[in-house]
Structure 1
Amino acid sequence: MSLPKPVMRGLLGKRLRFHLPIAFALSLAAAVAFKYGVTEPRKQAYADFYKSYDSEKEFNTMRQAGIFQSCRPVGEE
């Protein structure tokens, strides 16, 4: 009693018909999860930060701290 030979003809096509839609669906799900789990909250955080950001005030704070070499701190003029 011997084992039957495995069917090799068309094996790749048969397996691709099964695995390719699964791979496509999983990659699409990962892309959507990344977009709504990472990208959108990050964009919202940037928008919230820049709603109340005052660049002039930030510049004056850094200038008073002496960070810039080309600007004198306020009061040394």
Structure 2
Amino acid sequence: MAPSALAKPQMRGLLARRLRVHIVGAFVAALSAAALYKFAVAEPRKKAYADFYRNYDSMKDFEEMKRAGIFQSTK
């Protein structure tokens, strides 16, 4: 009974083949993370700023802070 010989592993081009798979996976992961950040963080933040400044009156806010005594240089 002769032991069966194992097939030689494919070594030539192994790194290039593995890199191709991992680069595609990394690209998909990065694209997914960017889209998740855009729609979960950036868009709600832009909407919150727009909502705040839609009805913001800077002079009214200044007068309230002036009455509260926050500013020392105004009377």
Segments of 4+ moved more than 2 angstroms: 1-9
Unaligned runs of 5+ in 2: none
TM-score by length of 1: 0.82
State the secondary structure of the residue aligned to 2:61: helix
Asked if 1:54 is matched to 2:48, the reply is: no
Give the number of equivalent residue pairs: 72
Report the aligned-residue RMSD.
1.6
For residues 70 and 4 of structure 1, the distance between their equivalents in structure 2, rounded to whole angstroms, comes to 86
Which amino acid is the alignment partner of residue 22 of structure 1? G
TM-score by length of 2: 0.84
Identity score, percent: 57
Unaligned runs of 5+ in 1: 73-77
